Structure 1
Amino acid sequence: MHPSIKESILEKKDEIVEQWLEEIEQFRYEDYLQNISDSVYRSTNREFVDKIFETVDLCSDDVYERISQYSERLIQLGWPLNYITRGLQSFRQITVETLSNTGDNYCYDIEFYQEIESWIDNLINALVSDYSGSWENTVFSQKMALKELSAPLIPVFDEICVMPLIGTIDSERAKLIMENLLEGVIENRAQVVLIDITGVPVVDTMVAHHIIQAAEAVRLVGAECILVGIRPEIAQTVVNLGIDLGKFSTKSTLKKGMATALKMTDREIVDLASK
């Protein structure tokens, strides 16, 4: 940044900061920061504006390094990116207006506006990059956690396994269910697999189609499938949609499904107390 522009910015720092803090107050309730205490809100804004002025004479690479050290704090505090970018745009406007009112000749040169634009754009780019990286890491971690926890095939008896399904089933998750199901059947040498949909909130045509595909795949590798957890509302939905689940057994509860699975493998539950 040109030394004369930098000098003017630092000379007018207090005036710029005062106007900016008043200006961004109106953004607070528009960007869901109303739950933050007044003291934290003001101190964070003050700290943020101080960081802005620290970057006034830095090149773009140094701006990234300096602001990235602070952006992590903003992310952890839960400050929306929209609030930050709007705040920086407001800061740019106030800075230009404040310096233009000084009457200095350079304020009417295109270089002046380019210097201010470049300075603030570097800050915005650095913050957007850090926020985007944080979101990508969060989404990746959530996907990995879901993959680890989603659709496990649990062996409960010799030749009998259970796959409990919880939550919404989309195409990506259906593919994972199919892979886990087939790998688990072969690995555990299962003869019967119980797919428990008790924890699936909605069973529509797409979900039913995925379940039927899974059952057919199990049949192709030499095992039988029992669908358990058929609640009354799900049964009504299946009937209303005209979905055919007649190709494999269905039971209302896991207990009933387990009893059927034992019979299919020539076993049964015996009450020893009655003998």
Structure 2
Amino acid sequence: MDRNLKRIALENSDTIVKMWMNEINTIKDGNYTATISDDLFESTNREFVNVIFASIKDQGSSKVVEDFSEKIIQLGWPLSYITDGLQIFRRVTIEYILNNSEKVNSDYFSKVLESVDLWVEPIIRRLVNEYSGSWEHTVSLQRVALQELSAPLIPVLEGITVMPLIGTIDTDRAKLIMENLLEGVMQHNSEVVLIDITGVPVVDTMVAHHIIQAAEAVRLIGATCILVGIRPEIAQTIVNLGIDLGKFPTKSSLKKGFMTALELMNRKIVDLDSKEESIEKMIESIKGE
């Protein structure tokens, strides 16, 4: 940026900032920031303009730009907030310099435009790049977290595990389900696995195929798979599609599936109170004799 124009911008930064704040406040209503509180909007705007002036002074501007981009993402504000704000800043800065110049001709006008562009354009590129990079990183972390939570295998009793499935099952998720299922069965030494599809909204031919593959894979490594959570509409869909689920047990609820799992492992639930009462009666009868 031209040294003289840089001096003018810095010496009159308070006035330029005030003009910019007035301009950006006019676009608040009715756009992406309409629901944001006035205090948060004003504080973020002031931080934004500090980032802009830090770049012209080059005082740790890289770290300032990075931190500001991350903050905008955390707030959930779109990239257009940054681009709109910088375009407004370019306009008000050029307007201020030209209005307060004694002599304005075409050469001076071009010089001002070029100098301000040389100041603002690098900031736009850096902020956009930082925003995009931070956003991609955030999305990547969220994707990994969702994948880890999308097909968990939960041990509920020695030898019995449950995999609750929620949401739509596509090819990628089906692959993840298969991997987690097999790894979990080996890790928890499972004998019976309950696949709960209560939270799966639609079971079509592809979904049923993936579930059958998963159940077959579990069988091959020595465990039994029980499909639970089959609602009436899901059962009707499976029948209409001609899908054969006869190779492994199916139950309408997780409770019924768990009871079947206990039976397969030769276990049962005993009411301790009733058992203690029976023992007491037996002791009393022995004493009576």
TM-score range, shorter chain: 0.7 to 0.9
Q: Residues 104, 81 of structure 1: CA spacing in aligned structure 2 closer, same or farther, 3 A cutoff?
A: same
Q: Distance in 1 between matches of 2:80 and 2:31?
A: 7
Superposed, 1:224-239 pairs within 5 Å as: 224-239=224-239
Equivalent residue, structure 2, for 1:99? 97
1:1-54 CA distance string (max 9 Å, x none): 221221233355455334422322232134432233324323432342243233
Task: Tell me if 1:219 matches 2:219.
Answer: yes
Return 5+ residue gaps in structure 2 as ranges.
279-289
Superposed, 1:46-65 pairs within 5 Å as: 46-58=46-58, 62-65=60-63
Equivalent residue, structure 2, for 1:178? 178
Asked whether the equivalents of residues 231 and 252 of structure 2 are also in contact (C-alpha less than 8 Å), the reply is yes
Q: Distance in 2 between matches of 1:29 and 1:199?
A: 40
Equivalent residue, structure 1, for 2:282? none
Equivalent residue, structure 1, for 2:21? 21
The structural deviation recorded for 1:212 is 1.8
Aligned-residue RMSD, C-alpha: 3.1
Match of 2:85 among 70, 84, 87: 87
Q: Residues 52, 186 of structure 1: CA spacing in aligned structure 2 closer, same or farther, 3 A cutoff?
A: closer
User: Equivalent residue of 1:116, what SS?
Assistant: helix
Task: Tell me if 1:108 matches 2:106.
Answer: no
Query: How many residues end up aligned between the 2 structures?
Result: 272
Q: Distance in 1 between matches of 2:183 and 2:39?
A: 56
Asked whether the equivalents of residues 99 and 107 of structure 1 are also in contact (C-alpha less than 8 Å), the reply is no
Task: Tell me if 1:253 matches 2:253.
Answer: yes
Asked whether the equivalents of residues 92 and 120 of structure 1 are also in contact (C-alpha less than 8 Å), the reply is yes
1:180-232 CA distance string (max 9 Å, x none): 21122234443332111223344344332321221121122233221001122
Q: Distance in 2 between matches of 1:164 and 1:149?
A: 10
Q: Distance in 2 between matches of 1:269 and 1:43?
A: 61
TM-score under structure 1 length normalisation: 0.81
| % identical aligned pairs | 59
Equivalent residue, structure 2, for 1:145? 145
Asked whether the equivalents of residues 196 and 254 of structure 1 are also in contact (C-alpha less than 8 Å), the reply is yes
Return 5+ residue gaps in structure 1 as ranges.
none
Asked whether the equivalents of residues 226 and 251 of structure 1 are also in contact (C-alpha less than 8 Å), the reply is yes
User: Equivalent residue of 2:56, what SS?
Assistant: coil
Q: Where do 4+ consecutive residues of structure 1 move more than 6 Å?
A: none
The structural deviation recorded for 1:253 is 0.9
Q: Distance in 1 between matches of 2:176 and 2:138?
A: 20
Q: Distance in 1 between matches of 2:81 and 2:123?
A: 14
Larger radius of gyration: 2
User: Equivalent residue of 2:163, what SS?
Assistant: strand
The structural deviation recorded for 1:100 is 3.9
Q: Distance in 2 between matches of 1:57 and 1:260?
A: 72
Q: Distance in 2 between matches of 1:157 and 1:176?
A: 23
